[in-house]
Amino acid sequence: MAARWATRCLRSQHARFISTAPASQLSRAEIVQMRNELFTKEKERQLSLYPRIEKIEVKYVGKSHPGTSFVMNKALSTPYNCAMHLSEWHCKKSVLALVDGELWDMYRPLTKSCEIQFLTFKDENPEEVNKAYWRSCAMIMACVLKQAFKDEYSVSLIRAPEVPVISGAFCYDVVLDSRLDDWKPTEDNFRSLTKEAYNLIHKDLPFETLHVDAKVALEMFQHNRYKMDSIEQKASQNPEGIVKLHRFGDFVDISEGLHIPRTSFCFQYEVTAAHNLQTSQSESIRRFQGVSLPVHLKAHHTVWRRLLERSRRLVIEEGSLEAKDGSLEAKTVST
Amino acid sequence: MRLSVAAAISHGRVHRRLGLGPRSRLDMLRNLVTGLVRHERIETHWARADEMRVYAERLIDYAKRGDADEAAMRMADFWLTEKDLIHKLFKVLAPRFQAHSGNYTRLLQIPNRENLDRAKMAVIEYKGNPFPPLIVLHRDNEKTLLNQLLKGYREDILKTRATQAPEGAAASLHTGTAV
């Protein structure tokens, strides 16, 4: 009974938006639109800081074409453009760029003359690449969760905990509407969430990145207090008070670090489990988990099935979660 | 009967014709076998290496009989033109292949020769030679995403087995004392 009622709450992507909004709150579509507009405006403003095209020299320090140097445009050219000058292989395989020893998104514009190197999934040390991939998959899942429920049921995204890849799953913490407290997601629900994720993957959306002031970020996320808390935390950690945002398609989110260039880098993707995290506060946090593999590292279906089974177990962030909320227990939800 | 046409058509004839004639072919193969026994890995035409392979392996079979055997010594004497290699054949190569019963050589094709003739070349070697291997299998790095997930999976399995094994041992102990 409860399950059937709950499945009616999940709507497909083609259903109409119902703007039954109380006076103080905007509907979900309007919030999304507002965020996108602010993002685009900020992006255009940052682009307009360089009205004339200035040239920078970028030296390639990788193994494949030693000693090449590119003449690129300042604040317009991205590491992806440099890879385009090298070969299609470089474009398809590089996930992150190492600019003057600093990790850089593939689609983030270069600001000065520097040395560049590309990182792939099969390097000697692909730790950063793996972390970026895990973060991107968590962000895709967050987007899916945001769009999955009907407008009347509020979904507040909290954050994506930084879990190591070896734990077997990436996760995202959300707070669902209080009416959905007793809802246990079934296999069919997870399958429909996975299908939504594949829709996003096949659309091949690029991950755009933007470094903004905390003020602009707070304005964007004014409807979500968890995001506002994390923006303030990040701004205090950063000396210039800058917060990093990422966007793909319509979905904007604060990021802990770098992301992969496009959603089409994911090949196998599955949302596998949802666990209830019991905190001392009244609201119940749900941790949705999933597992994914990139196009470059496909797994046979027998192996994939075992990885799926393992990802259904709760993953815990190392140490910091226990320290933050003193009494934190996790109750597993049977699927 | 028109025999000349039948002699000219070579359909289904498997024996190769190397050098200037049968004696020249044997001399050429003898030189190649000597080179192989001396260096244990040589590069030559694919057809010659393929032809030589049979003789090289038969020679090892003869050498396995031991140097006391008259036939083995006569074979080694004919096939190895440099007589210091007879000692190497009986004392080094024969003991190396004592455990194997065949397939003592490895034949691998390499890119065609750079000359105008673009000849099909091969490298032939005795197995167990001291040089670095010709084919190197590269395994993916342990730290790739898939390998890390699989490593975590393996560790989980081992952990569950480790927790189950002492439980199983404890249970069997209890049943033992009960009986």
pLDDT in tens, A220-236: 999 889 999 999 999 99
- Considering only CB atoms, B144 lies closest to which of A126, A291, A303, namely A126
What are the chain B neighbours of A126 within 8 Å (beta carbons)? 141, 143-145
pLDDT average, residue stretch B67-91: 95
- Considering only CB atoms, A125 lies closest to which of B143, B146, B156, namely B143
Residue of A nearest to B150 (CA): A307
Mean pLDDT of chain B: 92
Confirm or reject contact between B143 and chain A (CB < 8 A). yes
A-to-B residue pairs, Cβ atoms closer than 8 angstroms: 51
ipTM metric: 0.83
Per-residue pLDDT, A181: 85
pLDDT digits (tens, 9 = 90+) for A157-178: 998 899 999 999 999 999 988 8
pLDDT average, residue stretch B147-156: 95
pLDDT digits (tens, 9 = 90+) for A97-113: 999 999 999 999 999 99
pLDDT average, residue stretch A7-27: 51
- Residue A280: band (very low, low, confident or very high) from pLDDT cuts 50, 70, 90: low
A322, pLDDT greater than 90: no
Above pLDDT 70, what percent of chain A?
A: 87
Rounded to a whole number, what is the distance in Å from the CA of B142 to chain A's nearest CA? 9
- Residue A320: band (very low, low, confident or very high) from pLDDT cuts 50, 70, 90: very low
Per-residue pLDDT, B1: 64
- Interchain CB distance below 8 Å, B141 and A126: yes
- Residues of A in CB contact (< 8 Å) with B are 121-127, 129-130, 133, 165-168, 291, 293-294, 297, 299, 303, 306-307, 310
How many CB atoms neighbour CB B131 within 10 A? 9
Which of B140, B141, B144, B151 to probe the A interface (max A CBs under 10 A)?
Answer: B144
- Residue A116: band (very low, low, confident or very high) from pLDDT cuts 50, 70, 90: very high
The whole-model pTM stands at 0.74
pLDDT average, residue stretch A195-214: 94
A326, pLDDT greater than 60: no
Per-residue pLDDT, B2: 67
Per-residue pLDDT, A328: 40
Confirm or reject contact between B144 and chain A (CB < 8 A). yes
